[in-house]
Amino acid sequence: MAFLAVMPGSVVPSIEVAVDFDNDPTAGTTTWTDVTPYVVAYSRNPVRTNEFDQPGVCTGQITLRNDDARFIPDNVAGPYFGKLKKLRRVRVRAQWGGVTYNRFWGYVDDWPQSWDEYGRDQSVTLQIKDGLTPLETFDLVGQDFPAVSASGSAVAQVLTAAGITARSLDTGQSPIPDSGTLSSTFALQRVHDIAASENGVVFADGGGTIEFHDRRHRLTQSAVVQGTIGDAPGEIPYTNPQPLFGDVWPIVTVTANGGTLEMSTDAAGTASYYQRTLAFPPSGTYLVASQAEAKAATQYLVNRYAAPVTRVASVDLIGARSPSLWGPILNLDTSDRVIFRRRFLSNGTVAGTVQVDGFVEGYGETVKIGESWVVSVPISPADLQSYWLAGDAVYGLAGETTRAGY
């Protein structure tokens, strides 16, 4: 495999793109064929835009030069004839400073052609889908998953049924009851429901591993800031920030599975913002049967969202302006803690700084050979309240934190 320099001057990473033309996606082995010399562009979307979304299949595109028609499925003289099929596995990797970073692992959804006038350049723009793809079409009809004491085991049940072995799963906090015999429920919807019930997230990382972060992941495992995005020396340069101010729900409701509705209300919030209500979870079905946990969820969420805070819905990171920071940029992924700083001027001098503490909600990126490499990240606000978490070696110490988590 050979990495291709995206831009001259070593100011952005090199890229590698490979396809497994030889094996079905269900095969236990892969045979990677390097198609990097033909790459014109690559892009992918973030896995989600906010902390309440449950990620669907992440999509992207890879544009390849096709002057010799090697990527035309019907070209009998082509080197890959008979192998240009849907759902062939594909991967994209970056290399910077001698370190290789997984950027995308998934499947080719199609090989659409672009044929200009005769004698002109032609290309193919692959439509690609990430590692959640098998869960999207795996029907759980007839399955009956037994009750488990923690949501991580419930996610594992589904992945095992679907034959997914590449996984990294938090234990989880929520007990998930027996599913009963399922009828026409797809595996991706089932893991969405489990993650939504937990107030966590399931996604596929850039190397194809299915990850599950439970609701305490960001409180306990993501406390260390992985990067500061800003306009001062040593901070990750940015452009196109999209700040939002307005997520506010002074009333939160949760209905326990098979039970009744629980509600928490913040009086100051309703006085300022009327009765704006969050019916949790907004994405997925609440599977937890415990009335006590449903009530705890309403209390936690109303504490967080009774008043609005600023979020950075999306921001583009421009590593080429400060190449020494490409390592931190390429390491960023879902649930990583970051700081966004915006300095403002008065009469030409810095008069103050706005700071947003948050979590990355996945990453998107756009690569154009010979032009640029831009990484985009949506950022959700971090919960700056300190919590007491029963059983945790750090956060379970009496008197160390100020509010009970759930």
Q: Where are the domains of the chain?
A: 4-130, 136-215, 248-308
Q: Please tell me the number of Cα atoms within 13 Å of 165 on its side-chain side.
A: 3
Q: Apex CA 170: angle with CA 28 and CA 317, to 5°?
A: 85
* Secondary structure string (H, E, C) spanning the chain: CCCEECCCCCCCCEEEEEECCCCCCCCCCCCCEECHHHEEEEEECCCCCCCCCCCCCCEEEEEEECCCCCCCCCCCCCCCCCCCCCCEEEEEEEEECCEEEEEEEEEEEECCEEECCCCCCEEEEEEEEECCHHHHHCECCCCCCCCECCHHHHHHHHHHHCCCCCEEECCCCCCECCCCCCCCCEHHHHHHHHHHHHCCEEEECCCCCEEEECCCHHHHCCCCEEEEECCCCCCECEECCCEEECCCCCEEEEECCCCCEEEEECHHHHHHHCCCEEECCCCCCCCCCCHHHHHHHHHHHHHHHCCCCEEEEEEEECHHHCHHHHHHHHHCCCCCEEEEEEEEEECCEEEEEEEEEEEECCCEEEEECCCEEEEEEEEEECCCCCEECCCCCCCCCCCCCCEECC
Residue 65 has pLDDT above 90, yes or no: yes
Asked whether the beta carbons of 333 and 47 are under 8 A apart, the reply is no
> What pLDDT is attached to residue 113?
75
Cα 11 to Cα 111, 317, 318, 326: the distances in Å are 31, 13, 10, 9
Cis check: omega of the bond before 281, within 30 degrees of 0: yes
pLDDT band at 122 (very low <50, low <70, confident <90, very high): confident
Q: In degrees rounded to 5, what are phi and psi of residue 270? A: -70, -30
For the beta carbon of residue 349, count every other beta carbon within 10 angstroms: 6
What is this structure's pTM? 0.93
> What pLDDT is attached to residue 222?
79
Residue 118 has pLDDT above 80, yes or no: no
Residue 125 has pLDDT above 90, yes or no: yes
Residue 2 has pLDDT above 70, yes or no: yes
The token duo for 396 is 């379970």
Mean of all residue pLDDT scores within the chain: 92
Residue 395 has pLDDT above 60, yes or no: no
> What pLDDT is attached to residue 191?
97
> What pLDDT is attached to residue 406?
82
Residues 318-345: tens digit of each pLDDT: 999 999 999 999 999 999 999 999 999 8
Share of the chain above pLDDT 90, in %: 82
Residue 389 has pLDDT above 60, yes or no: no
Residues 3-18: tens digit of each pLDDT: 999 998 889 999 999 9
Report the first-to-last Cα separation within the chain, whole angstroms. 48
CATH says 4-130 is which class?
mainly beta
Residues 23-59: tens digit of each pLDDT: 999 998 999 999 999 999 999 999 898 999 999 999 9
pLDDT band at 187 (very low <50, low <70, confident <90, very high): very high
Residues 241-251: tens digit of each pLDDT: 999 998 899 99
Residue 111 has pLDDT above 90, yes or no: no
108-112, 181-185, 329-333 — most confident range:
329-333
Query: 136-215, what's its fold?
Result: Phage tail protein beta-alpha-beta fold (3.55.50)
> What pLDDT is attached to residue 127?
96
Residue 129 has pLDDT above 90, yes or no: yes
* Strand-pair partners of 315: 377
Q: Apex CA 56: angle with CA 6 and CA 205, to 5°?
A: 45
> What pLDDT is attached to residue 391?
58
CA atoms of 362 and 382, how far apart (whole Å): 15
